[in-house]
Structures are given as structure tokens and as C-alpha cells.
Structure 1
Amino acid sequence: MDRNNYFITLLVPVYNEHESINSFYDEVTRTLHEIEGHYEILFVNDGSKDDSVQIIKKLIARDSRVALVNLSRNFGKEAAMTAGLRHASGDAVIPIDVDLQDPPELIIEFVKAWLDKGYDMVYGIRVDRSQDTPLKRLTAGAFYRVFNVMTNKVHIPVNAGDFRLIDRRVIDAINQLPERNRFMKGIFAWAGFSSYGIPYERPERHEGSSKFNYWKLWNFALDGIVSFSSMPLRIWSYIGGVLAVIASCYMVYIISKTLILGNNVPGYASTMCAILFLGSVQLISIGILGEYVSRIFIEVKNRPVYILENIYRNSKSSVSHGETKEVELSEEAADTNESRQ
């Protein structure tokens, strides 16, 4: 890679982040003056209902390095990441959150490791999560341990998020994946290639509030495990086998006791305990099966991961995506569009 002629795409998913966009843009552009190559900031609007799109269009009108991939509705962050990877033009792509919890100055270290050491993927490792609640730190650590145990061929680095530099050949490999259930951390690890981790301290969010709650995080973790491991299905085969052995032994005990000592009055408590326990085990196992069946159902329908409304670029931008329909913005067009709204 030519040190003076490379192109970086910053991939920035956005969902109701109008408070953070301008400060993010100012911080990133100030930091990226230090790199020798060229760059673009590719925002992906995931169905925001606030003024995020209008703010980004203003940035596009005055800076040809800014572009917007606008989705038709909210499809989720993983779908937004997929859209961004498919429309990024860079020799390397860096997914980064707009809330500045991913420090832009670390991009310089990513680029150095990519150029000097030849790594195909350079990711950030959070060494300090003190800004998170104790419960979030506990559940996050448990997720990484459980995921890596269940998926022994796909290893996610502990405390590594989406913030990373991804070389073009890794992106091309990921873009070939047809699956609809997207868990990007797992996909990044599954792709392989040479990787390198850089530790950093993650600051607090500058503006706005997180769009993730514990329920969404739980479903996100469940998607990750089910997408990359069949062990939950296998575990219930083992549990069923163990329970069958225990039940057989207990049956032999009951029969022997009845033949030797006769039949006493049946115990209501023991019968109910057995019924409730086995019933709950069966419901849990059916639920696990349902998780996999629901994902088969989604994949078989073969719907697209996202629907694109439009791509917006500056009229002076030299970047193009071939046959993809794009809307060119000038400063006058952006002002006219805003006055209409």
C-alpha cells in the first residue's frame, strides 16, 4: 500500500444522533489532518426520526468528503453496518460510533499498524470500562466468555467492539456473505486474516444517550451465540440423555421398592416436582429450537438486509458507486431542502 496514496472510509451508523453529529465531524476532521492519505466520512442513517439527516446534508454540502447512505427505515445497527461496508469506497474502512466514545485519535494508530505492520484488521480493546455500570461490565464479560466457549472456531477478542480498521480484501470477503441474521463482531472474527489489538480507554459519551437497553443487549447477545454456534442444540441432547438415565434409575428404584415393600400411598409433592421440572426442561428446549427455526424462517424468505432510500454526496465529490442511484448536493440545494422542511 502506497503510504501517500491510500483512501480511508469512516463508517458512521446514525440513529437519532442529531446532538452528536457536528461535534463528531469537528473532532474527526481535526484528527484526520494528521494522516497522509485521503478519507471520506460515510454516515449511514438507520431511519432516524430527528434532524440527523438534515444536519448530515448540511455537512455534505460544504465538504465533499462527507456522504450519506440513507436507509428507508430503521433496520438495526448490524444492517446499517452491512450497508456501509457495501457502499464504502476506501482501501480500508473504520466503523466508528458518532458519540465519540471511540476516540478518533486512535485512528492514527490503526493506520500505522495497517501500513507499517501489514495487518488486515486492527481493532481497539477497551481496557477501562469504569463508565459502564457494574451489571453491564459483568454481563459483557460473561458474554465474551460464553461466546468463545461455544464457538471454538470463532474467537472474539474480549472487550473489542466494532471500532476497528478493516482492509479492503476483508471487506470484499464479508460482502460475499448472504446471511440476513448479521452479528458483525462474529463476522469480523469469522473472516479470519491477520489481526492486531490496540488497547485504549473508552471515554464517556459526549452528547445524547445510548439507544441500547438491557433487553436489546440480551437479544443482541442471543443473536450472536445462535448465529455462530449449534452448541445450545447439542447441550439439550446431553441434558436429555442425563435426565433419561436418572429417570431410568429412579424407575428401577420405584419398581424394586414396590415389589419388595409393597405399594405405599403415592406422594403428591414428588409427583408434582417431577412434572414441573421435566415440563420446564421441555419448554426451555423447545424455546432453543424455536430460536434456530425462526432464523431459518428469516433466511428462507430471502429478504434483503436493508432497503436503500438514496445515497447523498457533494456535487464536487469524485467518489462514485457505479449504477447506484445517488443524489448530489450543493450548498444551495441543501439550504433549499431545509427551507422546504
Structure 2
Amino acid sequence: MNLYFYENQVNGVLFMNKELISIVLPVYNETAGIQKTIDVLLDYCQNRPEHYELIFVNDGSTDQTETILKENALAHPSVRLVSFSRNFGQQLAISAGLHYAQGTAVVVMDADLQDPPSIIATMIDKWHQGYDVVAGQRQQREGETFFKKASASLFYRLLRQITSVHMPLDTGDFRLMDRRVVTVLNQMPETDPFLRGMVSWLGFKQTTVHYVRQERASGETKYTLRKMLKLATDGLVSFSMVPLKLAQWLGGLLLLGALASLIVGVVNGFTLGVEIALFSLMIGGFILITLGILGNYVGRIFMQSRGRPLYVVSETYGFDEQITPQHQVSHTSPYVLKKTAGK
């Protein structure tokens, strides 16, 4: 049974015989709805027996999001802010939040209230039953286009078929993780993380809870088609060698196609020039596809080998000065430019 008691002083608050639950929320240009999100989460926390810390990771917002979060971090002891020097992406924002989280369990969720905070209570109950990871599984997605629903459904099912890691269908990053899971996850500094896959790869005792994903309370989604495709590519390349094997299969098909075209050409009296042109087009297409697949893998090796920090933290609010990321500056750690601002 994963029931812990947090008996320590964090940010001047003494937690005795109560669990500290960290909630990590990546944020990017959410001025229209971030205050409502904070209010809803604070209301939820006040009505629960556990203690909570809300860690908002500002992923280089260019609107008033950071200002609103700073004001709330100064006004509420449970609100904390980690601010990036620029936009590094949602997955790395979550990674930063996990490094700063102090809780015995950590919940990851979006900051647009599409993931209902009430589900966290159900996740905690499952955690108390002995599960190390409790993921939110979407039964329905409100307010999303048919294309997004269909493409997401297809992606999860394709990923399950071509990887050896069991990933629950229709689950995003909304999940609760036990402290020991987070500790191991923090030791996996990948430059292009696909966190939901990494958590599944870790193993431990995992389960899901069903919920209906709500329509955005306000604002517009920041997850463009380009970002969706990048995330899908990260998942496919990070957890499967099938794309590399695809080159072999394409090579075999190309050979068969070339032989077939030659036979058809002989039978129908095609000229040699037409035969050569068809064969050259097939060879060129095969080479370009293969280079693209190889480039994805080699490019990730290059990015990982450069040794740059995963992200740069410009400043933090709401933390004691002694609280810093679990991994200090190194070739795989975040880089902190500015001293932490306490309460």
C-alpha cells in the first residue's frame, strides 16, 4: 500500500501525518483561463485531506500568463512557478515540473481544465490501493474536431501494435505517479521525451481510471497539427524500430515492382527509355524515404550527444531558496539562471 506520511518543512509549512501531493501543470499563453484554473484547483485542494503544491511551469509564454502566476505564487503558499527562458515544449515543461515536485505522489495535468480535478481524488484512491501509476483514460473527448479524435485514436492503436511496450489506449499525460516512479523518470534525461511512453516503459504497478475529457473552459488549444505530428514522431521513433525495418520492406517491394515493370514493358513493347525512367523514379523515392527514416534516428542521436541542458529556467517563485532541481547543472540537467524567489 503506497501510503506515505510527509513529515518535513517545505516552504515554511510543516506537514505532519498528511501526504503532500504535487500537481504539475505546463502552461503556455493561457491568460484567458489560467486564473480560473488556479481558483478551481485551490478550491479542490481546500476540500481534500491531503496537502498540495501546485507547480506551474511557464513554457516561455508571451502574454500575461507569467504575471498572473507570479501574483498567485506570492498570494497562495501552495502555488509555485517555474519559468523557462523561452519556449522549450510541453514535454520538457512537464519534465521540469517533475524535477521540482516534492510530493510523495505527483499528478500531471493540463492547465485548461479539460482534465477534471475531481478525477485526482479517484487516482489517489487507486494509489492507496497499491498502484504506482494511475493514468486517466479518455472515454469521450468533448469539444474536439472529428479529425483530432480520429487521428489520436489511430495513433494510440498504431503505437500499441508496433512497440513492445504496453501503453494504455486513449491516455495522455494526465496521470498520478508515485514518488519512486518520478525518481526513476527524472534519471531519464531524453532531449525529445515522450513521457507517457517512458512511464509505461518503466513498469511498476499501473492502472487507469476512466473519465470524460472536457471542452476547454476558455482560450484556444496551443497544440497545433505540427506539434501533434512531432509528438507522434517522438513516440514512434523512441519506442519502435519498425520505421527502420520499413526501409527493408520498401526495398523488397521496390525490387518486385522493378521486375514487374520490366516484364510489363517487354510484353507491351515499352521503349528502354520509359523503363529506365520508371525504374529511376522508384529508386529515387525509395532512397528519399529511407534517408528520411534514418535521419530521424540519427538526428536524435546528434541532439542527445551535444550535451546541452534540456531546458533553461530563468526564475522560480514560491519555493524556498534551498529547493532546486534534483539534478544540478550538467550535460543532461536543466540550467538555472536566476536565484529562486521565495515567499
Q: 2:107 aligns with which of 67, 90, 94?
A: 94
Where 1:207 maps in the other structure, the secondary structure is coil
What is the match of residue 236 of structure 1? 247
Gaps of 5+ in 2: 6-16, 329-335
Where 1:8 maps in the other structure, the secondary structure is strand
What is the match of residue 11 of structure 2? none
What is the match of residue 300 of structure 1? 305
Q: How many Å separate the matches in 2 of 1:240 and 1:2? A: 56
CA contact (8 A) 2:142 2:215 kept: no
Deviations 1:60-103 (A, max 9, x none): 11111111111111100011011111111000111111110000
CA contact (8 A) 2:143 2:216 kept: no
Letter matched to residue 308 of structure 2: R
Gaps of 5+ in 1: 330-341
Letter matched to residue 320 of structure 1: I
Q: How many Å separate the matches in 2 of 1:264 and 1:124? A: 62
Letter matched to residue 132 of structure 2: D
Where 1:42 maps in the other structure, the secondary structure is strand
Is 2:189 the counterpart of 1:178? yes
CA contact (8 A) 1:89 1:319 kept: no
User: Equivalences for 1:109-124 in 2 at 5 Å?
Assistant: 109-115=122-128, 117-124=129-136
What is the match of residue 224 of structure 1? 235
Quote the offset at 1:271 in angstroms: 3.7
Deviations 1:265-298 (A, max 9, x none): 6255444333222211221111111111111110
CA contact (8 A) 2:141 2:215 kept: no
Q: How many Å separate the matches in 2 of 1:238 and 1:9? A: 47
Q: 2:28 aligns with which of 15, 40, 43?
A: 15
Where 2:341 maps in the other structure, the secondary structure is strand
Quote the offset at 1:59 in angstroms: 0.8
Q: 2:295 aligns with which of 280, 290, 296?
A: 290
What is the match of residue 188 of structure 1? 199
Q: CA RMSD in A?
A: 2.4
Distance 1:249 1:199, change over 3 A: same
Quote the offset at 1:35 in angstroms: 2.2
Distance 1:98 1:267, change over 3 A: same
CA contact (8 A) 2:45 2:51 kept: no
What is the match of residue 12 of structure 2? none
Q: How many Å separate the matches in 2 of 1:202 and 1:319? A: 37
Distance 1:249 1:18, change over 3 A: closer
CA contact (8 A) 1:42 1:66 kept: yes
CA contact (8 A) 1:46 1:80 kept: yes
Letter matched to residue 289 of structure 1: L
Size of the aligned set, in residue pairs, is: 319
Larger radius of gyration: 1
TM-score (normalised: structure 1): 0.87
Is 2:139 the counterpart of 1:127? yes
User: Equivalences for 1:1-341 in 2 at 5 Å?
Assistant: 1-2=3-4, 4-115=17-128, 117-151=129-163, 153-244=164-255, 247=258, 266=271, 268-313=273-318, 320-321=323-324, 325-329=339-343
CA contact (8 A) 2:4 2:104 kept: no
From the two aligned structures, give the one with the greater helix fraction: 1
CA contact (8 A) 1:7 1:91 kept: yes
Q: How many Å separate the matches in 2 of 1:321 and 1:300? A: 25
Q: How many Å separate the matches in 1 of 2:189 and 2:122? A: 32
Q: How many Å separate the matches in 1 of 2:49 and 2:322? A: 19
